[in-house]
Amino acid sequence: MTLIDALSTAGGGRNVVFVASPSTAAAMKTWAPARFDYEILPSAAVAKNTLIAIEAPAFASAFSAIPEFSTTRQGTVHENTVPLNIVDGEGTVASPTRSLWQTDTFALRTILRCSFGMRSSGLVQYISSVTWIKIDLQQL
């Protein structure tokens, strides 16, 4: 309960959410007894053997009410989910690419401005390089 102690020291600890890699989150849910009433969320963005504790009500976010849209018929688009330069330093062209002008197409850009943060410092704590062992949570 080191993470909850750290959150409590910062003024939190009342509404804690744990975030872990999907495999770690699944293991925690399997091991935790019914009285372990903390939410455990999986996230592929969290490295394996890392556990994050967040004081949930301290998280604040805001979004612009109106998204911004713009279009263009100029430029070259790399049509892949892996971001690469269109041409690297050795002259290799990313594939697949599309010239908007040559193919008589246009690109649409959407921007939705957002902001997020914690209302106070110390309300996110984490432990990395954790060695997971099954423990008897009934004794906690």
What digits encode the pLDDT tens for the residues 73-84?
A: 998 888 998 888
Mean pLDDT value across residues 37-60:
93
Task: Note whether 24 and 133 are within 8 A (CB).
Answer: no
CATH of 2-61+117-139, one of 3.40.50, 3.40.1710, 3.50.50, 3.30.2320: 3.30.2320
Instruction: Indicate the SS3 state at residue 139.
Output: helix
Residue 136's pLDDT is what?
55
What lies within 8 Å, CB to CB, of 59 at 6+ separation is 116, 117, 118, 119
Q: What is the pTM of this model?
A: 0.65
The ranges of the chain annotated as CATH 3.30.2320 are 2-61+117-139
